[in-house]
Amino acid sequence: MPPKRKLRVSSAYSSPPGSKSKKRSTKFQPAPVSTPSTLSTNTFPPRNSSSSSNSTLSHSSVNSNIINRTFYPPEMSNARCALYNSNQLPRPMAELEQTLFSTLPQRQAINLGAAVIHWFKRDLRLHDNRSLHLAAQKAREGNIPLICVFLISPQDYEAHLTSPARVDFEFRSLAILRQGLAALDIPLHISTVEIRKNVPARLVEFATQVSAHHIFTNLEYEPDELRREDKLVRLCLDHGIAFDAVHDDCIVPPTTLSTRQGKQYSVYTPWFRAWVAHLHSHPDLLAASPPPPQNPPSTRRELASLFDADIPAVPENKTLSPEMKKRSEHLWPAGEHAALERLQRFLSEKVKAYKDRRNFPAENGTACLSVHHSAGTLAARTSVRMAREANSTSKLDGGGEGLKGWIGEVAWRDFYKHVLVNWPYVCMNKPFKYEYTNIEWEYNDEHFKAWCEGRTGYPFVDAAMRQLLHTGYMHNRCRMLVASFLSKHLLLDWRLGEQYFMLHLIDGDFASNNGGWGFSSSTGVDPQPYFRIFNPLLQSEKFDPEGEYIRKWVPELRDVVGKVVHDPFGRGDEEIVARVEGRGYPRMVVEHRWARERCLKRYKAGIGRETA
Ligand X SMILES: Cc1cc2nc3c(=O)[nH]c(=O)nc-3n(C[C@H](O)[C@H](O)[C@H](O)COP(=O)(O)OP(=O)(O)OC[C@H]3O[C@@H](n4cnc5c(N)ncnc54)[C@H](O)[C@@H]3O)c2cc1C
Distance, in Å, from the CA atom of 535 to the CA atom of 492, rounded to the nearest integer, reads 17
332 is catalytic: no
441 a catalytic residue? yes
Pair 164, 320: CB distance under 8 Å: yes
Q: Which is nearer to ligand X, 77 or 163 (CB)?
A: 163
Distance between CA atoms of residues 204 and 243, nearest Å: 10
- Which member of 332, 412, 423, 451 is catalytic? 412
Catalytic residue among 271, 423, 441, 451: 441
Contact status, residue 335 vs residue 377, Cβ threshold 8 Å: yes
Q: Would you state the torsion angle of the CA atoms of residues 277, 282, 287, 293, taken in this order, to the nearest 10 degrees?
A: -150
Which member of 158, 198, 442, 476 is catalytic?
A: 476
CB of residue 81 vs ligand X: minimum separation in angstroms? 22
Query: Is 366 annotated for ligand binding?
Result: yes
183 marked among binding-site residues:
no
Minimum distance from residue 91 beta carbon to ligand X (Å) = 21
To the query of whether residue 476 is one of the catalytic residues in this protein, the response is yes
Nearer to ligand X, 235 or 368 (CB): 368
Q: Is 406 annotated as a binding residue?
A: yes
- Which one, 24 or 342, has the nearer CB to ligand X? 342
| Cα–Cα distance measured from residue 64 to residue 43, given in angstroms and rounded to the nearest whole number | 14
- Which residue out of 229, 517, 535, 591 is catalytically annotated? 517
User: Which residue of the chain is nearest ligand X when measured via CB?
Assistant: 516
b or e along 195-224 (b: 16 or more beta carbons within 10 Å of the residue's beta carbon)? Answer: ebeebbebbbebbeebebbbbbbbbbbbbb
Q: Which of 119, 494, 514, 553 is catalytic?
A: 494
Judge whether 367 is annotated as a binding position: yes
Q: Do residues 172 and 335 lie in contact, with contact meaning Cβ atoms separated by under 8 Å?
A: yes
* Binding stretches for ligand X (CB under 6 A): 2, 358, 366-370, 373-374, 409-410, 412-413, 416, 476, 479-480, 483, 501, 505, 507-509, 512-513, 515-517, 520
- Closest contact distance (angstroms) between CB of 501 and ligand X is 6
- Smallest separation, CB 509 to ligand X (Å): 4
CB of 500 to ligand X, least distance (A): 10
- What is the dihedral angle through the alpha carbons of 262, 266, 270, 276, rounded to the nearest 10 degrees? 80
507 is in an annotated binding site: yes
Judged by beta carbon, residue 3 or residue 90, the one nearer ligand X is 3
Residue 412 assigned as binding residue: yes
411 annotated as a binding-site residue: yes
C-alpha 310 chain-centroid distance: 30
H-only helix segments in 376-475:
380-390, 401-422, 445-453, 459-471
- Residues 383 and 373 sit within 8 Å (Cβ to Cβ): yes
Q: Considering the complex, state which of residue 224 and residue 509 has its C-beta at the smaller distance from ligand X.
A: 509
**589 is known to lie in a ligand binding site:** no
**d(C-alpha 411, C-alpha 403), whole Å:** 12
> CB atoms < 10 A from the CB of 72, how many?
17
CB of 439 to ligand X, least distance (A): 17
Other CB atoms within a 10 A radius of the CB of residue 54 amount to 12
Give the CA distances from residue 52 to residues 301, 416, 429, 494, 612, in Å, rounded to whole numbers and listed in that order: 57, 30, 15, 21, 15
Cβ density class 259-283: b for 16+ within 10 Å, e for less: eeeeebbbebeebbebbbeebeeee
- Residue number with CB closer to ligand X (1 or 110): 1
| Shortest distance in whole angstroms from residue 6 CB to ligand X | 18
Residues forming the annotated binding site?
354, 366-370, 406, 409-416, 507-509
Instruction: Name the residues annotated as catalytic.
Output: 409, 412, 441, 476, 494, 517
Annotated binding-site residues for FAD read: 354, 366-370, 406, 409-416, 507-509
